[in-house]
Amino acid sequence: MKKDKNDEMYSIPDAPFPIFDTQLSIQENLTQSAQLKIPTPQLPQTQHPHKFFDYTIQHPLGIPACPITGSSAYIRLLAQLGFSVFTHKTIRSFAHPPHPFPHTLPVSYQLLSHLDLHTSVMHSTDQQPTLMNTLALANSIGNSSDMLAASVQGIADSRAALNNNQILIASIYGAATNTRTLVDDWTFLACTVVEAGAHAVEANFSCPNLHDNSPIYCNLDLMQQIIKNITTAINPIPLIIKVGISNNAQQMETMMCAAACAGARGICGINSVSTQILNEHHQPAFGTRTTAGISGAPIFNLAVKWIQHAYYINKKHNLDLTILGTGGITLPEQFDSFFDAGADIAMSGTGTMWDPYLATRYIKRIYNANISTLNTHYRNMYEHPAQ
């Protein structure tokens, strides 16, 4: 693979990468994040910050809700490496344990397509990933959450770890409790994270690891009720909805129109893709759980198609939704594929877990490029030394 003069390599060196360990639990990874020490290079500052809702951000590069946005230590580190938009890992209003260990497993690379979404089987592997372009991960967690007071403190600390022109979105997942209905719990959580300092709220309507109900983005009446209640309560703070792939184009169009009409101002896709995962003995790799969510390189094409379609629907119906794209970016140049497809913000979760310098490499590449070759999102954003 071609090497950039700013990068040592795209294959994964022993140290200091990755910043996440599949052999540890999610909680152990979060605890260890406080000890992470990796060099943080100086980055060029853009002269024209980008708009994001009513805020400004330095770079339209972000990290979706995942373990490396689950602690202020992770967020502080990644905020120094070029990312500007962070979606804090999903929280609930009560403590909720993860599914049994393991929580994540490397899987053998296989590109997923729309055609085999409901039939594909992927295989876990003992080999740790060695190449970014085939980085593939399965996760089985189920929106685990700390007690609310600890989660709220984590969000406040993460917000405090950011600089100007960096944004914290808090991801929430509501559930009926003894004292609150399902819709009230979503609204309560949204208000709570805004009070803790979140610049925006993301409603996780699409976790692939919960089997109690079909995802909320497929249940339009319920989705609209939750969006209306949240947006009324947190106005003017924007609400983003996190979705997965729809069964067909019409369903996605109806869903996006319903979400915008109810008051959502942003849409983030795609969540990890639910797939059957077997081990080398052809047994379910996650014990009693036969399916888990796939992220990283296998879902890149699905994510690009989702963004293209979301962009088209947004324009066709004048929905004015901000589009946050995530799914499969593991190489710096792939941020451009998301921008070209129509994303306002391009995000990488799994890729960044193995290469925390993804945004750094992208920004340095742009800064050193001839400005006329830049993606439209970046034209005029940098005062290029040669201009």
Q: Is 337 among the residues that bind ligand FMN (CB under 6 A)?
A: no
Interaction pattern, residues 122-141, with ligand FMN; x per rule: CB under 6 A: ---------------x-x-x
Least CB distance to ligand FMN at residue 376 (A): 23
Judged by CB under 6 A, which stretch of 42-50, 65-73, 252-260, 309-317 contacts ligand FMN? Answer: 65-73
Instruction: Kindly give the pairing relationship between strand 55-57 and strand 322-326.
Output: unpaired
3-state secondary structure 156-198: HHHHHCCCCCCEEEEEECCCCCCCCCHHHHHHHHHHHHHHCCC
Between 129 and 349, CB nearer to ligand FMN: 349
Least CB distance to ligand FMN at residue 80 (A): 20
Q: Is 79 among the residues that bind ligand FMN (CB under 6 A)?
A: no
Least CB distance to ligand FMN at residue 47 (A): 29
Least CB distance to ligand FMN at residue 17 (A): 16
Instruction: Kindly give the pairing relationship between strand 322-326 and strand 266-269.
Output: parallel
Identify the residue among 33, 72, 166, 271 touching ligand FMN (CB under 6 A). Answer: 271
Which single residue brings its beta carbon nearest to ligand FMN?
349
Report phi then psi at 255, rounded to 5: -65, -45
Identify the residue among 171, 192, 246, 360 touching ligand FMN (CB under 6 A). Answer: 171
Q: How far apart are the C-alpha atoms of 362 and 166, rounded to whole Å?
A: 17
Nearest-10 crossing angle of helices 249-262, 220-234:
30
Q: How far apart are the C-alpha atoms of 107 and 249, rounded to whole Å?
A: 29
Which residues are known catalytic residues? Answer: 207
Nearest to 157 by CA among 30, 8, 327, 7: 30
Judged by CB under 6 A, which stretch of 39-47, 71-79, 251-259, 343-351 contacts ligand FMN? Answer: 343-351
State the distance between the two ends of the chain, measured CA to CA, in whole angstroms: 30
Q: Is 65 among the residues that bind ligand FMN (CB under 6 A)?
A: yes
Between 65 and 366, CB nearer to ligand FMN: 65
Instruction: Give the interface size with ligand FMN as a residue count (CB under 6 A).
Output: 27
**382 secondary structure, DSSP code:** S
Strand order in the sheet with 273-278: 104-106, 136-139, 291-296, 273-278, 121-123
Neighbours of 383 (CB within 10 A): 13
List binders of ligand FMN among 214-233 (CB under 6 A): none
List binders of ligand FMN among 348-387 (CB under 6 A): 348-351
**Interface with ligand FMN by CB under 6 A: which residues?**
64-67, 89-90, 104, 137, 139, 141, 143, 171, 204, 242, 271-272, 295-296, 299, 326-329, 348-351
